[in-house]
Amino acid sequence: MSKLVDLVEFNPSVRLKKGEVAPFIEMAALPTNARDIPQLGTREFSGSGSKFENGDTLFARITPCLENGKGGYVSTLRPSTAGHGSTEFIVMRARSSSDSLFVYYLTREPEFRRFAEKQMSGTSGRQRVSWQSLAEYDVPEILPAQRAAIGATLGALDDKIELNRKMNATLEAMARALFRDWFVDFGPTRAKTEGRAPYLSPDLWSLFPDRLDAERKPEGWAYEPLLDQAEWVNGAAYKNMHFSDAPDALPVIKIAELKNGVTGNTQWTATDLGARYLIDDGELLFSWSGNPDTSIDTFLWTGGKAWLNQHIFAVRSNGKRSKPYLHSLLKFLKPEFAELARNKQTTGLGHVTKADMQRMMVCTASPEVHSAFDRLIEPIFKQALGLQMETRTLSQTRDLLLPRLMSGELRVADLTPSEREAAA
């Protein structure tokens, strides 16, 4: 055994001048079940806080962020550029560049995280772990070449996960653009009124009215409350009697787990709550409470069977609108939801209520236009769901291999053909 400090330099020196505007990563941007950090802002360096470069690992040292698994690998800075972030990050830099990914994955290893949690100290609710405590962690003796192979193998899985995330973002942007053109900007009808050439196929073009009415919407279309477009099933408020450690008990999902689409680190399981609160792959969920910028959002669930927790709506068809349409609508309304929640913030949290959705009006078209939209958007929706399902499989493979590779129980050379294919 060797100590982690033999492999890692903690909070290394980084050249960054006070007052310099540089890339910034806040705690909210740090993922809980992914390697890459998608949100990178800029901020003036105040002279305090963490400083890092590409190849460094960021580790959240404060409760509950540590217990929730927050951490990330810095890889998106421009060459020779330094970044800075929360004072609650511990920065780890591999002493050998070939160990950079190995060090990151070591911080994801369940045994390491349990060790870190046991080293926490401080008052209740503000406990932290020190880098000096982490430095004493015993690292199994693994040869440098094998460490590099472990990092490369697990990294290949996360590369595919990141590619899927980017592809899903592109698909979502396509759906949002189509929704905006048809149902918000009324593009086809406006083009007709202005005498512009058709930009849709003749069968689609003919479905749109030729004129705008007095409300400046397509003639014959109507405004309806958002609330009327779907059935909104709020999650259950669980009591002690609901929780169970039975083998067939299902996990209770939390808002923090929605973005990952997996059940994550939840320790809660429950049974016998009824079909109303049971969700499964492909369920459309709307998180209506929390941080307006990070929690108020719409998600496709791909974490398998689970129980719906409170502060989350399952958005189900009431016979009027399809799931792909509802997904596009809610994603388009995300900025409006965030603003509503922001105006009702208390202690940094906000919410969107059914009363808000009763007041929010959406423009609805003829059944023929909605059917045409569904035909166009359905393949996009299915592809996005398929990518998320693939990401779940990749994540599960990575999380299964990680502790076995780190412990030495399994070597990269011993992987099965299917495991090799997943990481190829």
**CA 114, CA 67: separation in Å to the nearest integer?**
9
Domains and their CATH numbers in the chain: 2-141 (3.90.220.20), 166-384 (3.90.220.20)
The token duo for 301 is 């669930």
**CA 167, CA 284: separation in Å to the nearest integer?**
19
3-state secondary structure of 122: coil
Instruction: List Cα–Cα distances, 302 to 127, 146, 233, 299, 318, in angstroms.
Output: 33, 33, 18, 9, 22
**CA 44, CA 17: separation in Å to the nearest integer?**
9
3-state secondary structure of 107: helix
pLDDT digits (tens, 9 = 90+) for 233-253: 998 776 655 655 667 667 777
Cα 254 off chain centre by? 13
pLDDT digits (tens, 9 = 90+) for 181-216: 999 999 999 999 999 999 999 999 999 999 999 999
Per-residue pLDDT, 38 = 83
Helix 334-342 with 323-332: angle, nearest 10 deg? 50
Residues paired with 315 in a beta bridge? 232
For the chain, what is the mean pLDDT? Answer: 89
Percent of the chain with pLDDT over 70: 88
Residue 223 in contact with residue 363, Cβ under 8 Å?
yes
**CA 34, CA 36: separation in Å to the nearest integer?**
6
pTM for this predicted structure: 0.85
| Alpha-helical runs (H) found in 180-304 | 187-193, 202-205, 255-258
What are the backbone angles phi and psi of residue 234, rounded to the nearest 5°?
-80, 145
Per-residue pLDDT, 263 = 46
Q: Work out the pLDDT band at 316, boundaries 50, 70, 90.
A: very high
152-164: string of b/e by CB count within 10 Å (b at 16+)? ebbbbbbebbbeb
Q: Per-residue pLDDT for 402 more than 90?
A: yes
Q: Per-residue pLDDT for 177 more than 80?
A: yes
Average pLDDT over residues 64-68: 89
Q: Work out the pLDDT band at 266, boundaries 50, 70, 90.
A: low
Q: Per-residue pLDDT for 35 more than 70?
A: yes
Query: Residue 355 is which amino acid?
Result: A
**CA 336, CA 360: separation in Å to the nearest integer?**
9
Per-residue pLDDT, 124 = 72
Residue 262 in contact with residue 303, Cβ under 8 Å?
yes
The token duo for 423 is 């990481």
Q: Hunting for tokens 């990914």 — which residue is that?
A: 101
Q: Per-residue pLDDT for 132 more than 80?
A: yes
Residues paired with 316 in a beta bridge? 231
H or E element at residue 373: helix 367-407
